[in-house]
Amino acid sequence: MEKQYIIDTLESRETRSAWSRGVNNYAIDLVDGLDDCANLTKEKLLNGARSWTEYSFGGCALIYDADIAEALCTPSELKAKRGGDLQPNTDETWLDVQARALFQASILILKIAKKVDARG
């Protein structure tokens, strides 16, 4: 019940930007991959990884730059980055950007789970 409630809540969220939609989709994927959402923690979401960077670079999420770019960019950003062929910025790789999105997705999930726990 809790797992489905979290997914339903995420699916009903209004997202206005490509980044927000991407973060929301990562959140749905993270929750969907769990067997049990009882007592949800960051560690449970990380599924054995020590950080979201390790999770991203370890192949636990998308692995191709083009797929990550498509998941998080607007059509114009995607065109400017040649579908992920160019790095997102001078300080990050696409896997770094994905780790940042996963981190934000985890915060979103944990906020929803806290509300579920509070209502009993």
For the whole model, what pTM was predicted?
A: 0.95
Residue 116: predicted pLDDT: 77
Residue 120: predicted pLDDT: 60
In this structure, the number of other CB atoms found within 10 A of the CB of residue 19 comes to: 18
Which residue matches tokens 């067997």?
35
- Give phi and psi for 20, each to the nearest 5: -60, -40
Residue 10: predicted pLDDT: 97
Report residues of the chain scoring pLDDT below 50.
none
Q: How far apart are CA 7 and CA 112, in angstroms?
A: 10
